[in-house]
């Protein structure tokens, strides 16, 4: 028997122990016999490449759940089962939703190449010899869309050779698997290889929740959190609340899984899921494919949710079988009671959606929670003055690049071709992985999409994250694009603030690209064929998985060697792409006196505004260089401009990074004032590293996005919130702030802020925080990494 998936193995020790327990029991059920047979076969083929850390522990999950269930004495949600099932100390951990901090033991870590650079640089700084849990690096962010798949990939390998070499050698040195450029988007690779029902996986990308489509709790984090887990330290997470979304009815016609999350985003908004796991349940889930469930979970990041998850069902089993993991499906069947919610479990909020009544949606522009039915968006666009002509349609991304997604788009395109039509708009296609690319090439989907006018891009993030060398418009030109992506903030895709980006399903993108206008509704409207006859597109109906086996395509995985003693990881001191880290300074034991306000931000400030992506991705491994993009997209309330702030010493307006560097050089410590949900969007910890590197000490806002708040704490900064949100209006960019109470810094105890106005008057306000004792130690040590080193001494 051949090993079908050498990158994901059952713990042989666990398997053998399980077999012993089975064969010493008095009776052997059919299921037990089946499980025992599979595990015996698995043990035979896996011994040659077994690694102690690469395992699946359903038995430990069950043990921990049983401990917690007895303590809480109530029905558990699925989210609670998986999260509490990974507690470091289930017998003694204090558990209260929304309040206590849980200490968890994740099963696995995944990092994309842009964030992996800083994560691995931090891990190297820790001085540890090997990662303590299975970890992987995925090269997907640094490939710019320009000419097409193969050409763009070759160009990326040449431009990014230094970075790829660093990641490959660091992975080999420290025991981290390495997926080479061209392998695909991190979340699709995780779904195909690593996610499974009941797993707790953390990833250094905000869309890690994609794995919830396969029944796992998969959470996006910053690189410092990943370092903790890779170092074998229990990982902290505030005990999540649980939002239930009950699905009834069934999907049909033009309505797709994407429409479920577009609808939910419209209900909850970009911060409605903050501090909570969104748990889907109900009879409607059976009408959604596994990859469709992944789409829904993926875009849950846009509502601020900790993650999203679906219960284990036959659609997941079908996907596991098709991706070479039938043994995991068998184990999941055995432990399935722990992979679904208990009857009668309590949700902190409950939303009900009837899938039979749900209509196709399109969200945008400029924010992913502005929801419109497709039938109405054209009218709304005309009323609002948004361009209705579509310049480009783009399908793919980590949200919608599965075999089913590509098939549904191809089915729409095939109908247009049959009537002699091609896309009126430009059209691009991004396969989710090398396996998806190879399979859609074999099955003809890729050629159909090319024939209708599409360009197949590399298996990478591309335009979704701003890696798009767009040539059809000039910056500042007002235009509309439609995508099957997840995020549509201002300038997100092409760095043009006048691009109106709309998010919808791949099949709706394809239909709209063929029609060329937002005013087209494929459910009711007709197209005119080349012969002059009118016709209506039929809703796509295709297989969710290929009938034949997936074509794996090229082998793009590098397994870490068993002996890495001779492996070197070099970082040139003159490199412009990579820079070894220097420890941040420790807290000096004093209150923060007379902090200068670097910028008071007006309105939405995402991590794209704080640390832009696109062309800046090349500096993700060089902290000083990438700090030149600090807050360049944030709007200064003083003048309504981006990247223009007053230097308090010279009184001249200049770029934000230059002003921060001036303050740092002259020993002036500073603070940022922000609005609601500050730091929403990507998990990028550079948005926390940069202000720390350039002399920042605190970020004071009305509220924070979860990941960004944690990232700030990890780097020794103070993320603080106004006890009274109206106090935001009391602070002016020319004021100075003093933060008092740090000597008695304690959980739940507000800090005092004295606002010093230029005219000599003062006001005192209170600032709240969410620090616990461990996180306060990070602040005192100067960063979580500093604290880790202290504990090793």
Residues catalogued as catalytic: 140-141, 205, 487, 682, 684
In sign, the C-alpha dihedral spanning 262, 268, 274, 278 is negative
Dist. CA 454–CA 607, nearest whole Å: 31
Where in 92-204 does DSSP place strands (E)?
A: 101-104, 108-112, 135-138, 177-179, 200-203
Which distant-in-sequence residues (6+ apart) come within 8 Å of 339 by Cβ? 78, 81, 197, 198, 215, 311, 312, 332
| Inter-residue contact 105 to 235 (CB < 8 Å) | yes
Dist. CA 181–CA 220, nearest whole Å: 21
| Inter-residue contact 508 to 362 (CB < 8 Å) | yes
290 backbone dihedrals φ, ψ, rounded to 5°: -60, -45
Helix residue ranges, H only, 138-253: 149-159, 161-174, 186-193, 223-230
What H or E segment, with its residue span, contains residue 534?
strand 534-535
CA dihedral in degrees (550, 320, 33, 65; nearest 10)?
Answer: 160
Q: Please measure the distance between the N-terminal and C-terminal CA atoms of the chain and give it in whole angstroms.
A: 48
Q: Are strands 592-600 and 736-740 parallel, antiparallel or unpaired?
A: antiparallel
Q: What angle do CA 536, 537, 540 make, to 5 degrees?
A: 155
Q: Of 27, 213, 225, 196, nearest to 119 (Cα)?
A: 225
Count CB atoms within 10 A of the CB of residue 724: 12
170 backbone dihedrals φ, ψ, rounded to 5°: -65, -40
Dist. CA 165–CA 167, nearest whole Å: 5
Which distant-in-sequence residues (6+ apart) come within 8 Å of 437 by Cβ? 149, 184, 431, 446, 456, 459, 553
| Inter-residue contact 407 to 445 (CB < 8 Å) | yes
CA 462 to each of CA 140, 152, 190, 456: distance values in angstroms, whole numbers, following the listed order: 8, 10, 18, 11
Dist. CA 211–CA 386, nearest whole Å: 35
Q: Which two tokens stand for residue 337?
A: 């009671």
Dist. CA 481–CA 518, nearest whole Å: 9
In sign, the C-alpha dihedral spanning 168, 169, 170, 174 is positive
| Inter-residue contact 138 to 111 (CB < 8 Å) | yes
Q: Of 722, 718, 721, nearest to 710 (Cα)?
A: 718
What H or E segment, with its residue span, contains residue 776?
helix 773-781
Q: What angle do CA 720, 723, 728 make, to 5 degrees?
A: 75
């Amino acid at each position: 028997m051949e090993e079908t998936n050498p990158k994901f193995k059952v713990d042989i020790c666990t398997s053998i122990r399980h077999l012993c327990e089975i064969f010493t029991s008095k009776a052997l059920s059919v299921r037990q016999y089946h499980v025992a047979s599979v595990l015996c076969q698995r043990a035979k083929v896996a011994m040659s490449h077994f690694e102690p850390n690469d395992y699946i522990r359903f038995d430990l999950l069950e043990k921990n759940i049983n401990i917690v269930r007895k303590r809480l004495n109530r029905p558990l949600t699925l989210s609670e089962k998986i999260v509490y099932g990974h507690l470091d100390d289930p017998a003694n951990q204090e558990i209260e939703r929304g309040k206590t901090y849980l200490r968890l033991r994740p099963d696995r870590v995944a990092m994309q190449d842009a964030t992996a650079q800083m994560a691995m640089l931090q891990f190297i700084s820790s001085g540890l010899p090997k990662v303590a849990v299975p970890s992987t690096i995925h090269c997907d962010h640094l490939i710019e869309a320009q000419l097409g798949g193969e050409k763009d990939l070759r160009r990326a390998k040449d431009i990014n050779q230094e970075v790829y070499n660093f990641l490959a050698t660091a992975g080999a040195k420290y025991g981290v698997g390495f997926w080479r450029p061209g392998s695909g988007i991190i979340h699709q690779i995780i779904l195909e290889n690593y996610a499974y029902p009941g797993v707790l996986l953390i990833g250094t990308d905000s869309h890690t929740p994609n794995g919830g489509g396969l029944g796992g709790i998969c959470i996006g984090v910053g690189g410092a959190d990943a370092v903790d887990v890779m170092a074998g330290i229990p990982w902290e997470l505030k005990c999540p609340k649980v939002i239930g979304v009950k699905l009834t009815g069934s999907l049909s016609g033009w309505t797709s899984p994407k429409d479920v999350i577009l609808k939910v985003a419209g209900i909850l908004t970009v911060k409605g899921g903050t501090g909570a796991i969104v748990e889907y349940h109900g009879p409607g889930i059976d009408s959604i494919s596994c990859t469709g469930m992944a789409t829904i979970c993926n875009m849950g990041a846009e509502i601020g949710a900790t993650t999203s998850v679906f219960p284990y069902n036959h659609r997941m089993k079908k996907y596991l079988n098709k991706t070479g993991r039938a043994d995991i499906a068998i184990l999941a069947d055995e432990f399935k009671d722990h992979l679904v919610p208990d009857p009668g479990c309590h949700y902190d909020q409950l939303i009900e959606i009837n899938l039979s009544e749900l209509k196709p949606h399109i969200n945008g522009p400029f924010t992913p929670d502005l929801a419109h039915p497709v039938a109405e968006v054209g009218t709304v666009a005309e009323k609002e003055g948004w361009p209705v002509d579509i310049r480009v349609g783009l399908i793919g991304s980590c949200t919608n690049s599965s075999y089913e997604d590509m098939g549904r788009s191809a089915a729409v395109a095939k109908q247009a071709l049959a009537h002699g039509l091609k896309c009126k708009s430009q059209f691009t296609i991004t396969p989710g992985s090398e396996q998806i690319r190879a399979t859609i090439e074999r099955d003809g989907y890729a050629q159909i999409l090319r024939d209708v006018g599409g360009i197949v891009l590399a298996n990478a993030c591309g335009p979704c994250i701003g890696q798009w060398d767009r040539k059809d418009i000039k910056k500042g030109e007002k235009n509309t694009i439609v995508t099957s992506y997840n995020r549509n903030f201002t300038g997100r895709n092409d760095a043009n603030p006048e691009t109106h980006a709309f998010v919808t399903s791949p099949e709706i993108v394809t239909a709209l690209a063929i029609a060329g206008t937002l005013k087209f509704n494929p459910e009711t409207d007709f197209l005119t064929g080349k012969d002059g006859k009118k016709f209506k597109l039929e809703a796509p109906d295709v297989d969710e998985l290929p009938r034949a086996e997936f074509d794996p395509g090229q082998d793009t995985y590098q397994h870490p060697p068993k002996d890495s003693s001779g492996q070197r990881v070099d970082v040139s001191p003159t490199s412009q792409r990579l820079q070894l880290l220097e420890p941040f300074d420790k807290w000096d034991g004093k209150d923060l006196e007379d902090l200068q306000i670097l910028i008071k931000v007006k309105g939405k400030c995402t991590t794209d505004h704080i640390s832009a992506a696109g062309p800046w991705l090349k500096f993700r491994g060089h902290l000083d260089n990438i700090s030149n993009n600090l807050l360049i997209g944030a709007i200064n309330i003083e003048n309504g401009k981006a990247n223009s702030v007053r230097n308090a010493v010279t009184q001249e307006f200049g770029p934000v990074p230059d002003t921060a560097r001036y303050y740092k050089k002259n020993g002036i410590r500073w603070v940022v004032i922000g609005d609601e949900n500050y730091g929403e969007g990507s998990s990028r910890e550079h948005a926390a590293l940069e202000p720390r590197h350039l002399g920042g000490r605190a970020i004071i806002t009305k509220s924070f996005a979860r990941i960004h708040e944690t990232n700030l704490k990890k780097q020794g900064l103070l993320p603080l919130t106004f006890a009274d949100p109206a106090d935001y209006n009391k602070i002016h960019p020319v004021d100075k702030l003093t933060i008092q109470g740090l000597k008695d810094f304690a959980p739940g105890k507000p800090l005092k802020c004295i606002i010093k106005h230029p005219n000599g008057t003062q006001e005192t306000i209170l600032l709240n925080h969410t620090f616990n004792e461990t996180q306060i130690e990070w602040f005192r040590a100067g960063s979580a990494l500093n604290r880790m080193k202290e504990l090793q001494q």
